[in-house]
Amino acid sequence: MARRPLIAGNWKMHLTVPEAERLATAVVASCADLPDREVMIAPPFTALAAVAEVVRNTPVLIAGQNAAWEKQGAFTGEISPVMLREVGASMVIIGHSERRHIFGESNQMVNRRLRGALQFGLIPVLCVGETLADREEGKAMPILEQQVREGLAEVDAEAAARVVIAYEPVWAIGTGRTATGAQAQEAHAFIRNVLARVYEKKLADEIRILYGGSVKPENIDSLMAEPDIDGALVGGAALQSESFDRIVHFL
């Protein structure tokens, strides 16, 4: 079963509305000749509606960078999955390492957000990844297993088929230090094996697993050559149209 590659740009807390519109216009141009892969961008909330307007009727997909689990309510500072859909998002990043490590989101909270996204019709990109200390202590794989299992708790196979996973080792995010293709492949194959044990092999073989952490034009081709790497979640290099253009055109 062929998994369609997905290249996702995470703009984090960057760009004014006019800057976001300009970058989105460039992304649309980059994607004009790419029928075999999907491209998603996650602007900050303030630019979502404007960016959605720019990509309307193009193949470029829009994502929120996080979402609450309720449709509406007393959740100051949060955004509802229904609100994201209203402005044109079809996907949402859930459990990004910055949410986990700066804002203290637990696997349980990540799971609630993920189930809310599924319930209200968004495709969640569930981020998992070990810290440097986890890796040095030989705990990378158990941590990943726990993040995947707890992140997908109470998600049935039918819903899980819509989930995208992103493996982002915390030590590689924004540090310029990328996992080698072999390190990433090992983690991706491990995650796919966990999915096969939680669900079944056929479903695990269909779920896309992206790599994230200092993805650049210089390393995208070797990462994408690994059999279990189905795409990339790109931060810094997604903010420049030339580098993102090269990344979406991975060989």
* Between 99 and 199, CB nearer to ligand PGA: 99
Interface pick for ligand PGA out of 81, 124, 213, 231 (rule CB under 6 A): 213
Closer residue to ligand PGA, CB minimum distance, 199 or 226: 226
Shortest distance (Å) from residue 168 CB to ligand PGA? 6
Respond yes or no: is residue 96 known to be catalytic.
yes
| Per-residue contact flags (x/-) with ligand PGA for residues 172 to 201, judged by CB under 6 A | -xx---------------------------
Our finding on whether 215 is near ligand PGA (CB under 6 A) is yes
x/- contact string, 97-136, with ligand PGA (CB under 6 A)?
A: ----------------------------------------
3-state secondary structure the chain: CCCCCEEEEECCCCCCHHHHHHHHHHHHHHHHHCCCCEEEEECCHHHHHHHHHHHCCCCCEEEECCCCCCCCCCCCCCCCHHHHHHCCCCEEEECCHHHHHCCCCCHHHHHHHHHHHHHCCCEEEEEECCCHHHHHCCCHHHHHHHHHHHHCCCCCHHHHCCCEEEECCHHHCCCCCCCCHHHHHHHHHHHHHHHHHHCCHHHHHHCCEEEECCCCCCCHHHHHCCCCCCEEEECHHHCCHHHHHHHHCCC
**Size of site (CB under 6 A) for ligand PGA:** 13
42 binds ligand PGA, rule: CB under 6 A: no
The amino acid present at 98, given as its one-letter code, is E
CA 62 to each of CA 21, 40, 41, 59, 87: distance values in angstroms, whole numbers, following the listed order: 13, 6, 5, 10, 9
* Site for ligand PGA contains 233 (CB under 6 A): yes
Identify which of residues 47 and 63 has a Cβ nearer to ligand PGA in the complex. 63
Q: Per rule CB under 6 A, is residue 47 in the interface with ligand PGA?
A: no
Instruction: Select 10 or 111, whichever has its Cβ closest to ligand PGA.
Output: 10
Based on the residue annotation, tell me whether 53 is a catalytic residue of this protein. no
Interface with ligand PGA, residue 10, by CB under 6 A:
yes
Query: Of 80 and 243, which has the nearer Cβ to ligand PGA?
Result: 243
| Residue positions annotated with a catalytic role | 96, 168
